[in-house]
């Protein structure tokens, strides 16, 4: 009910309230682009602009007049024509060593299947960002990537294109990342379980705090009570960010 019924707090009111921690840098980003066969690097990445509530796509219209059926959802997605691959981008939150597991599945006997690539920005500095490449037609193919070094802020792109025929290219890809940080802490990331829409704004979060107070006490919080509740929320957000894997 807090999510469904809360009203965002206006900016002028937020100015008089405590700040909340900035949202953790989003590990996953969702977009489309292309892969450069010569340099073996991601040639372009543009975020998909519209979230339907269950998937990212170019606009509220599907197919989009420009980008067609390019879309991503929790389980997988669909690329558009050549040059318009869909890209699920992972951003390393800390430095360490990364391995990738999982498999891609293409479930139609029509078309010519899809191609999956894992591309690292870290190894691009060495002239070749390609960590793995697989084609899949009406089957399931494992997509393992051996241990590779990453620095905080590096990107790993999961790129899926249509090969030659832009038809029947729906796919599923359950990629699982295991990051062993330089301090020895092991963190896991799951492309399916971690899938998300747009981040919630500060005004909406404060509105949810206020709505929760109304539901619990049948009244609006007093100014000092709202400040106390926001301080509590800030502590909890910080704790959950640090202990997200527990």
List, as one string, the DSSP characters of 24-45: PPPSEEEEEEEEETTTTEEEEE
Residue 241: per-residue pLDDT: 66
Residue 25: per-residue pLDDT: 54
- Per-block average pLDDT, block size 10, for the chain (246 residues)? 90 86 75 94 96 97 96 98 97 94 97 97 68 97 95 95 94 97 92 90 91 95 93 84 61
240 token code pair? 């959950």
- Return the closest-CA partner of residue 27 out of 102, 94, 118: 94
Residue percentage of the chain with pLDDT more than 90: 76
The C-alpha angle with vertex 135 and arms to 130 and 137, in degrees rounded to 5, equals 165
For the chain, give the mean pLDDT: 91
Q: What is the pTM for the complete model shown?
A: 0.80
Residue 26: per-residue pLDDT: 72
pLDDT in tens, 174-204: 999 999 999 999 999 999 999 999 988 889 9
Element (H, E) at 240: helix 223-242
C-alpha 99/C-alpha 179 separation (Å) is 7
């Amino acid at each position: 009910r807090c999510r469904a019924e809360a009203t965002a707090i206006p900016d002028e009111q937020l100015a008089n309230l405590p700040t909340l921690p900035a949202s953790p840098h989003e590990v996953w980003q969702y977009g489309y682009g292309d892969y450069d066969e010569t340099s073996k690097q991601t040639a372009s990445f543009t975020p998909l602009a519209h979230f339907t509530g269950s998937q990212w796509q170019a606009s509220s219209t599907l197919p989009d007049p420009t980008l067609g059926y390019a879309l991503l959802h929790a389980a997988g997605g669909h690329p558009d024509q050549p040059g318009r691959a869909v890209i699920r981008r992972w951003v390393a939150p800390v430095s360490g060593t990364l391995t990738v597991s999982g498999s891609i599945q293409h479930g139609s006997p029509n078309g010519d299947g899809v191609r999956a690539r894992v591309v690292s920005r870290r190894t691009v500095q060495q002239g070749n960002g390609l960590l793995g490449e697989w084609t899949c037609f009406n089957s399931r193919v494992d997509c393992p990537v051996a241990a590779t070094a990453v620095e905080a802020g590096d990107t790993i792109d999961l790129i899926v294109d249509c090969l030659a025929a832009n038809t029947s290219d729906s796919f599923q890809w359950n990629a699982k990342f295991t990051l062993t940080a330089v301090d020895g802490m092991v963190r896991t990331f799951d492309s399916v379980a971690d899938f998300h829409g747009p981040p919630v704004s500060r005004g909406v979060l404060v509105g949810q705090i206020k709505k929760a107070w109304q539901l619990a006490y049948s009244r609006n919080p007093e100014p000092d009570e709202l400040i106390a509740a926001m301080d509590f929320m800030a502590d909890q957000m910080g704790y959950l960010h640090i202990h997200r894997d527990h």
